[in-house]
A and B are shown apart, each in its own frame.
Chain A
Amino acid sequence: MTTSVAFEKARAEGRAALVGYLPAGYPSVDGSITALRAMVQAGVDVVEVGLPYSDPLIDGPVIQRAVDGALRAGTTTTDVLRVVEAVAATGAPAVVMSYWNPLGRYGAAAFARDLAAAGGSGVITPDLTPDADDAWLPAAREHGLDTVFLVAPSSTDERIAMTTASCRGFVYATSVMGVTGTRDQVSDAASVLVSRTRATTELPVAVGLGVSDAGQAAEIAAFADGVVVGSAFVRRMLEAPDEPAGAASVAELAGELAGGVRRR
């Protein structure tokens, strides 16, 4: 399934789509597969598979800890593709979330080819804007992958238009200025940014950064097409005593959030 189909399905049901993130390889490659599959079963519509990177400069301490753990365990880019394959086999669209250097090192064309072969739907690039490098877009287009770029409250209207023109699948709107991590309140900036983004594109707009519970998911679902949750899932994994407990805890949160996006 492509991400567009998942967003259309959610729209048809009169709700926002739920996008859930976990890094591949934490606490182990198989453990991350189990947890991501549990997420899908509990109601996550689109899965974000994080590609662990040594210098994740837009991630807060929760995701950093899990990613460090995944790297210490020796997780490779090939492992990440294996996680994508296993998750995509559930029928839910799986996108990779990756900083640019690991992709550039693997080779943009090779990564696009291998991700498509693994059944992946696309890539979210948190430190790659469409105007930063010429290598990624042609490679992604050639293999039919979604290219999800970020817009931010500080983006000018011109940059939002430039960014959404290069997006495929959906647009990722960062709700606040800051790094990933849970926050107590949904920022007012998010709905303004969604409106500004919608003025430039027909693509679904998903909002991320700082969403941790069903109430916040419902607030965002009231004005966005998708709700992205990362750190709150990762925290469940970090706090779990073992892999089965982590998967169960992640599924529990996914169920609550799936209720939230239906409550708009």
Chain B
Amino acid sequence: MDTTPGGGHVLAADRPGRFGPYGGRYVPEALVAALDELDREYAAAAQDPSFTAELDHLLTTYSGRPTPLTEAARFGAEAAHGARILLKREDLNHTGSHKINNVLGQALLTKRIGKQRVIAETGAGQHGVATATAAALMGLECVIYMGEEDTRRQALNVARMRLLGATVIPVSTGSRTLKDAINEALRDWVTNVETTNYVFGTVAGPHPFPTLVRDLQRIIGVEARQQVLDLTGRLPDAVAACVGGGSNAIGIFHAFLDDADVALYGFEAGGDGVATGRHAATITAGSPGVLHGARSYLLQDEMGQTIESHSISAGLDYPGVGPEHSWLKDTGRAAYEPVDDAEAMEAFRVLCRTEGIIPAIESSHALAGARRLGERLGKQHGPGAVILVNLSGRGDKDVDTAAKWFGIMDESGEVRA
């Protein structure tokens, strides 16, 4: 069992980028050389003790790993039918989410390749903030593409990125959200590929990104598995994570894949409800196809045009999903369910009140899912089921959205008496 941050198995890559019928590389020929270079350099870096040591050092001394495991006793008792809810505290990472795990590795890789400029897409802004942070740390030029709609929803994160020295480019094409930010970042990359590395934020996109990002996020589950064993003396009954592109979910799932008795649950953004058509529940309601360079489930119409997704959570508002999740779904190793906006916000409220933790709205989908699992497992096995929840990010960025949702602020942002 490897518990070293960033060490050992964390960087073990498999090849060649297919997960059953999913994944692959559907990109313009112009990008193939850069993807091959990234793949090659990553494989070499993973074998290079000085690279892994540098990454370990940053994860420990800069990001604050290992992140703690917190037992949410009041939340479990009052809101999850007596289940033991164990929170993997990725919200306590530097920059406030799991995104930093991936970005530190990719920024080191950028330096190793010898490029001076990084670009990234961002939805909620968490990946953008993490990338801007790593770029500042390593002296790289940084450009972040963000949907115009998201720059409004997540204005605080736009300010954070700019404070960190990044250029934020609002994307006004298409649905003006994460999907379009990725298109625009890919257009930048194909133009500037000689000088620029694309620091992709999730386990989607063309090979090697789904593998590379998963390996860099795998540390979440490696740590959490040992922490649950240390605390409870056994493995959890279930692991719950939210799924947009799916990086925090794959990160916590991966260490449990061979533990057949541990059920894995991904909770997708149900938006206004899957039946309304206004949602981001890609695996629940989508079908296989190709988006952003990989074959996976996606929200598409009969002609293969991408359907715009909807969610209160900017970080889950994406009509695609990482190809490994599609494979886990088809093989039955993981189950995926939608959680709608209202259910997620209720879980958000309850965690604030019972544990004194303000979660990201993204992670609140996983908390809502854990409540559902608590009820289900309680009926099956009685109370005391152990549910590990990936608390992937903190809710500072969401205070505005939440205050309006709960009527603490009016639409203009004034606090109500």
Judged by a CB distance under 8 angstroms, whether A154 is at the interface is: yes
Indicate with 1 or 0, residue by residue over A85-118, a CB within 8 angstroms of chain B CB atoms. 0000000000000001111111000000000000
Which residues of chain A (57-109) have a CB below 8 Å from chain B? 57-58, 60-61, 64, 68, 71, 76-77, 100-106
Q: Does B190 contact A55, Cβ atoms closer than 8 Å?
A: no
Judged by a CB distance under 8 angstroms, whether B94 is at the interface is: no
Please report the C-alpha to C-alpha distance between residue A149 and residue B24 in the assembled complex, in whole angstroms.
Answer: 18
Judged by a CB distance under 8 angstroms, whether A133 is at the interface is: yes
Q: Does A154 contact B193, Cβ atoms closer than 8 Å?
A: yes
Q: Does B28 contact A132, Cβ atoms closer than 8 Å?
A: no
Tell me the minimal C-beta distance from A53 to chain B in angstroms. Answer: 7
Residues of B within 8 A of A68 (CB): 173-174
Q: Does B32 contact A104, Cβ atoms closer than 8 Å?
A: no
Q: Main SS of the interface on chain A?
A: loop
Set B24, B186, B304: member contacting A102, Cβ < 8 A? B304
Which residues of chain A (134-152) have a CB below 8 Å from chain B? 149-152
Judged by a CB distance under 8 angstroms, whether B47 is at the interface is: no
Judged by a CB distance under 8 angstroms, whether A256 is at the interface is: no
Asked whether A126 and B28 contact (CB < 8 A) given A154-B34, A178-B190, the answer is yes
Count of inter-chain pairs, beta carbons less than 8 A = 112
* Residues of A within 8 A of B (CB-CB), count: 40
Q: Main SS of the interface on chain B?
A: mixed
Judged by a CB distance under 8 angstroms, whether B26 is at the interface is: yes
Judged by a CB distance under 8 angstroms, whether B30 is at the interface is: yes
Q: Does A132 contact B24, Cβ atoms closer than 8 Å?
A: yes
Please report the C-alpha to C-alpha distance between residue A163 and residue B29 in the assembled complex, in whole angstroms.
Answer: 9
Residue of B nearest to A79 (CB): B303
Residues of A within 8 A of B293 (CB): 127
> Which one of B62-70, B72-80, B257-265, B284-292 is at the interface?
B284-292
Residues of B within 8 A of A100 (CB): 26, 290
Tell me the minimal C-beta distance from A65 to chain B in angstroms. Answer: 9
Indicate with 1 or 0, residue by residue over B15-42, a CB within 8 angstroms of chain A CB atoms. 0000000001111111111100000000
Q: Which A residues fall within an 8 A CB radius of B? A: 53-58, 60-61, 64, 68, 71, 76-77, 100-106, 126-129, 132-133, 149-156, 159, 163, 174, 177-179
The 10 closest A-B pairs by CB, nearest first: A105-B304, A152-B30, A102-B304, A178-B191, A154-B33, A54-B305, A101-B304, A54-B306, A101-B290, A57-B186
